[in-house]
Structure 1
Amino acid sequence: MSDSMQRTLVLLKPDAVQRRLIGELIARFEAKGLNIVAMKMLQVTPELAKQHYAEHVEKPFYPSLESFITSAPIVALAIDGLDVIQVVRDMLGATSGLKAAAGTIRGDFSSSRQMNLVHASDGPDAAQRELALYFDESEFCDYQPVLVPFLRAGDE
């Protein structure tokens, strides 16, 4: 990947799965021209939740966070693209659906701080750490979509 090409983790959380928004949310990433290179549905265990949210385990809100993330299946996505970490975070909108702008995923589908449908890595180090929690290297399917010349200029 070039310097501006990145890979990030996106989780479609239990509320997105339960509300049957998986296809609609994936369609937004695809319509943006981002490349899904790995995807799986899984049940987050308390152990995985503690690894994923390690920085929050000792905080008072952690038990409710763990209860929520383990309450139903999630869909984990590995997504590639130019500056994809920031692009995806911009697409998600503010953490609280109540504060997220219309047109963002949370602004359009969430009206809660915790039930905010999606998680995305907040930087390159977090992306690398989080991707390793959900995917083995062998699960990434790197490919170049044939429509790339219609998504961005050749020098991007």
Structure 2
Amino acid sequence: MSIEQTFSIIKPNAMKKNAIGDIVSMFEANGLKIAAAKITVLTTAKAEEFYAEHKARPFFGELVSFMTSGPVMLMCLQGEGAVLKNREIMGATDPKKANPGTVRAKFGDNVGENAVHGSDSPESAARELALFFEKHEICNV
């Protein structure tokens, strides 16, 4: 495997639980490094742009509302096979189906409020990173 970068969001429900340190520690313990990070509150426009692929789905409005309901932590994670590794650390989308010890099993509340987002492919990672970070904001760690 090669060194990759992937995009991750710690979602509002995990932020409210003060879980940043625990979640970042899980990434770092599994060989991922933070190459960029920022805490922000997403605008409706930015959330709609990010989740544009879900626009026709019935949960779109609720998803956008949730993602703009409070602060999020946006990150670029870097490491060997970062996309797949991040997805393994996060666990299944549904926290009830996520393996014990994964981020979503520990901090997710339900399918919609599942604590974290992670890119599903290197192509998605590139698109998502470009949406939230300028090139100069991402360090090669």
**Secondary structure in structure 1 of the residue aligned to 2:131:** helix
Return the letter of the residue paired with 1:22: I
Q: Taking structure 1 as reference, are residues 73 and 111 closer, same or farther at Cα in structure 2, changes over 3 Å only?
A: closer
The answer for the alignment partner of 1:30 in structure 2 is: 28
Question: Deviation at 1:20?
Answer: 0.6
Root-mean-square deviation (Å): 1.0
The answer for the alignment partner of 1:108 in structure 2 is: 106
Q: 2:81 aligns with which of 80, 83, 102?
A: 83
| Superposition misfits of 4+ residues, deviation over 3 angstroms | none
Question: Deviation at 1:141?
Answer: 1.7
Query: 1:3-82, aligned counterparts within 5 Å?
Result: 4-82=2-80
- Tell me, in whole angstroms, the C-alpha distance in 2 between the residues paired with 1:54 and 1:15: 21
Q: 2:125 aligns with which of 124, 127, 130?
A: 127
C-alpha deviations, 1:53-88, integer Å up to 9, x for none?
110012111000000000001000101111110000
Q: Are the aligned partners of 2:14 and 2:107 in contact in 1 as well (CA < 8 Å)?
A: no
Higher-Rg member (1/2): 1
**Secondary structure in structure 1 of the residue aligned to 2:14:** helix
Bigger relative contact order, structure 1 or 2 (CA pairs below 8 A, ≥6 apart): 2
Query: 1:140-151, aligned counterparts within 5 Å?
Result: 140-143=138-141
How many aligned residue pairs are there? 141
Return the letter of the residue paired with 1:130: E
Q: 1:95 aligns with which of 89, 93, 96?
A: 93
Question: Deviation at 1:109?
Answer: 2.4
Q: Name structure 2 gaps, 5 residues minimum.
A: none
- Tell me, in whole angstroms, the C-alpha distance in 1 between the residues paired with 2:81 and 2:28: 15
TM-score between the two structures when normalised by the length of structure 1? 0.87
Identity %: 39
